[in-house]
Amino acid sequence: MMLRVYYLLIVLLNLAAAIFCADKYSREDFPSGFVFGPGTSAYQVEGAASEDGRSPSIWDTVSYEGKMDGATGDASVDEYHNHIFVVMIMYLQQEDVKLMAETGLDAYRFSISWPRLIPNGRGLLNPKAVLYYNNLINERISHGIEAHVALYHYDHPQLIEYEYGGWLSRKIVKNFIAYADVCLRKFGDRVLHWTTLNEPNVFLLYSYDVGMLPPYRCSSPFGLNCSQGNSTSKPYLVFHHLLLAHASAVRLYRKKYQGKQLGFNGINLFVYGTFPLTNSTEDVLATQRATEFLVGFTVIHPNPVVFGDYPETVKKNAGLRLPAFTIQESKQVKGSFDYLGVNHYVSIQFKDNSASLNSEHRDYRADMAAEMIFDVDNSTFEYPIHALGMQAAQETSSFEDTSRVKYMHGYVESVLDAIRNGSNVRGYFTWSLLDAFELMGRYETCFGLYCVALSAHWYSQFLRGKPVGSDVFIQLGKHFSPLSASS
Ligand SMILES: *[C@@H]1O[C@H](CO)[C@@H](O)[C@H](O)[C@H]1NC(C)=O
Ligand SMILES: *[C@@H]1O[C@H](CO)[C@@H](O)[C@H](O)[C@H]1NC(C)=O
Ligand SMILES: *[C@@H]1O[C@H](CO)[C@@H](O)[C@H](O)[C@H]1NC(C)=O
Ligand SMILES: *[C@@H]1O[C@H](CO)[C@@H](O)[C@H](O)[C@H]1NC(C)=O
Ligand SMILES: *[C@@H]1O[C@H](CO)[C@@H](O)[C@H](O)[C@H]1NC(C)=O
pLDDT higher than threshold 70 for residue 124 = yes
Is the beta carbon of 230 within 6 A of some atom in ligand 2? yes
End-to-end CA distance of the chain: 32
The pLDDT of residue 79: 65
Picking from 183-187, 206-210, 248-252, 414-418, which range would have the lowest pLDDT averaged per residue? Answer: 414-418
The pLDDT of residue 297: 56
Is the beta carbon of 280 within 6 A of some atom in ligand 3? no
Model pLDDT for residues 294-304, shown as the tens digit of each residue: 876 554 444 78
Is the beta carbon of 231 within 6 A of some atom in ligand 2? no
What DSSP state is assigned to residue 86?
T
In sequence order, the β-bridge partners of residue 313 are none
The pLDDT of residue 78: 56
Is residue 1 situated within a structural domain? no
**Environment class of 57 (CB within 10 Å of its CB; exposed 0-12, middle 13-18, buried 19+):** buried
Within a 13 Å sphere around the CA of 409, how many CA atoms are in the beta-carbon half? 27
Residue 87 one-letter amino acid: V
SS3 category, 408: helix
Residues 6 or more apart from 267 whose CB is under 8 A from it? 195, 196, 197, 200, 246, 298, 305, 336, 337, 340, 341
**Rounded Cα gap, residues 96 and 73, in angstroms:** 18
Q: How high is the mean pLDDT of the chain?
A: 76
Give the pLDDT band (50/70/90) at residue 376.
Answer: very low
Contact 266, 483 (CB under 8 A): no
**Nearest ligand, CA 419:** 5
Q: Find, among 272, 307, 357, the residue nearest to 15 by Cα.
A: 272
41 or 360, which is more confident? Answer: 360
Cis before residue 115, ω within 30 degrees of 0?
A: no
The pLDDT of residue 483: 27
Taking phi over 0 as left and psi of -120 to 50 as alpha, with beta for the rest, 311 belongs to beta
The protein residue with its alpha carbon nearest to ligand 1, atom 8, reads 225
Is residue 21 situated within a structural domain? no
396 or 374, which is more confident? Answer: 374
Ligand 4 geometric centre to CA of 378 (Å): 6
The arithmetic mean of pLDDT across residues 330-341, rounded, is 90
**Rounded Cα gap, residues 235 and 422, in angstroms:** 36
Cis before residue 432, ω within 30 degrees of 0?
A: yes
The protein residue with its alpha carbon nearest to ligand 3, atom 13, reads 278
Is residue 15 situated within a structural domain? no
In sequence order, the β-bridge partners of residue 269 are 342
**Rounded Cα gap, residues 83 and 95, in angstroms:** 10
Point out the ligand 1 atom lying closest to the alpha carbon of residue 225: 1
The pLDDT of residue 68: 62
The pLDDT of residue 93: 36
For residue 413, the enclosing domain spans 37-479
Is residue 29 situated within a structural domain? no
CA 293 to chain centre: 17
Ligand 1 geometric centre to CA of 69 (Å): 12
The protein residue with its alpha carbon nearest to ligand 2, atom 12, reads 230
The pLDDT of residue 456: 62
Picking from 65-79, 105-119, 332-346, which range would have the lowest pLDDT averaged per residue? Answer: 65-79
Sheet holding 347-352, edge to edge: 273-276, 347-352, 370-373
The arithmetic mean of pLDDT across residues 306-334, rounded, is 94
Rounded to 5 degrees, φ, ψ at 373 are -125, 110
Give the pLDDT band (50/70/90) at residue 24.
Answer: confident
The arithmetic mean of pLDDT across residues 32-58, rounded, is 84
The protein residue with its alpha carbon nearest to ligand 1, atom 7, reads 225
Is residue 11 situated within a structural domain? no
Is the beta carbon of 414 within 6 A of some atom in ligand 5? yes
**Rounded Cα gap, residues 270 and 295, in angstroms:** 8
61 or 355, which is more confident? Answer: 355
H helices present in 144-203, as ranges: 158-164, 171-187, 200-202
* CA torsion, ordered 434, 389, 468, 461, to nearest 10 deg: -10
Picking from 1-15, 81-95, 234-248, 331-345, which range would have the lowest pLDDT averaged per residue? Answer: 1-15
Is residue 19 situated within a structural domain? no
The protein residue with its alpha carbon nearest to ligand 5, atom 6, reads 421
Specify the number of domains making up the chain.
1
Is residue 433 situated within a structural domain? yes
Which of 378, 380, 383, when mutated, tests ligand 4's pocket best, judged by the most ligand atoms within 8 Å of its CB? Answer: 378
Is residue 79 situated within a structural domain? yes
pTM: 0.81
Residues 6 or more apart from 472 whose CB is under 8 A from it? 402, 405, 406, 454
Ligand 5 geometric centre to CA of 425 (Å): 14
Rounded to 5 degrees, φ, ψ at 10 are -135, 150
- When mean pLDDT is compared over 18-32, 312-326, 410-424, the highest value belongs to 312-326
pLDDT higher than threshold 60 for residue 363 = yes
Give the binding-site residues of ligand 1, using a 6 Å CB cut-off.
224-225
Point out the ligand 3 atom lying closest to the alpha carbon of residue 276: 13
Ligand 4 geometric centre to CA of 277 (Å): 9
**Nearest ligand, CA 218:** 2
**Rounded Cα gap, residues 323 and 173, in angstroms:** 15
CATH code, 262: 3.20.20.80
Give the binding-site residues of ligand 4, using a 6 Å CB cut-off.
277, 349, 378, 380
Q: Find, among 149, 37, 71, the residue nearest to 449 by Cα.
A: 37
**Nearest ligand, CA 279:** 3
Instruction: Give the burial string for 394-415 (b: 16+ CB within 10 Å, else e).
Output: eebeeeebbbbbbbbbbbbbbb
The protein residue with its alpha carbon nearest to ligand 1, atom 5, reads 225
Is the beta carbon of 425 within 6 A of some atom in ligand 5? no
The protein residue with its alpha carbon nearest to ligand 5, atom 4, reads 421
Is the beta carbon of 421 within 6 A of some atom in ligand 5? yes
pLDDT higher than threshold 60 for residue 176 = yes
- H/E stretch holding 319 reads none
SS3 category, 182: helix
